[in-house]
Amino acid sequence: MGKRENFRGIKGKSRFALIPFSIFDAMARLRMTTAARAAYCEVYHSYNGRNNGKLCVPCRELGDKLNISHDRAARAMKELTEAGFIKLVTPSVFLGRRTSAEYQLTHLKCDMTGDLPTSDYEKYEPVNPRWNGKRTGFTRPNGGKGTIQPWRKEGVSRATWYRRNTLN
């Protein structure tokens, strides 16, 4: 008897996710948050091979799965959408009944429309060009040599310096 196929794949076999290394490299290059990386894995988990373009991932359920707040889950989905890893196909609406947003993975062909993969994440550049690549944060205007404290240059207290420079 032949192998019987059900909605989730071949019966008796477990599914697996084939995520290309280029996606992980792009997430590292763009310095995506951990929540966004985990959210991408959950979005990919909802893909069954025939539903790209109809991936329904509610932020409340995503937050419960990832053990984060639903606001943080929504920010992670927004981060993935802005970076081009996923594309919003149908926004969520509440007209009589709630419908969740539907997404598409951009590195795969859309199963609903037949559109070819766009891989928008490869073309995306970060919004903040001042990022210096360190965990400490952004570059400082004075070359990273501490904070700028002009009152110390003049040898007066901070209150005196502000009084002199803001009232005139």
Burial class (CB in 10 A: 0-12, 13-18, 19+), 59: buried
pLDDT in tens, 17-38: 888 888 888 888 888 889 999 9
pLDDT in tens, 143-164: 555 666 777 778 888 888 888 8
Are 60 and 70 a contacting pair, CB within 8 Å? yes
Domains present along the chain, CATH in parentheses: 15-136 (1.10.10.10)
d(CA 18, CA 90): 25
What are the backbone dihedrals phi and psi of residue 79, each rounded to the nearest 5 degrees, phi first? -65, -40
Residue 158: the pLDDT is 82
Are 15 and 9 a contacting pair, CB within 8 Å? yes
How confident is residue 138, by pLDDT bands cut at 50, 70 and 90? Answer: very low
What are the backbone dihedrals phi and psi of residue 10, each rounded to the nearest 5 degrees, phi first? -70, 135
Q: Is the pLDDT of residue 91 over 60?
A: yes
- pTM listed for this prediction: 0.68
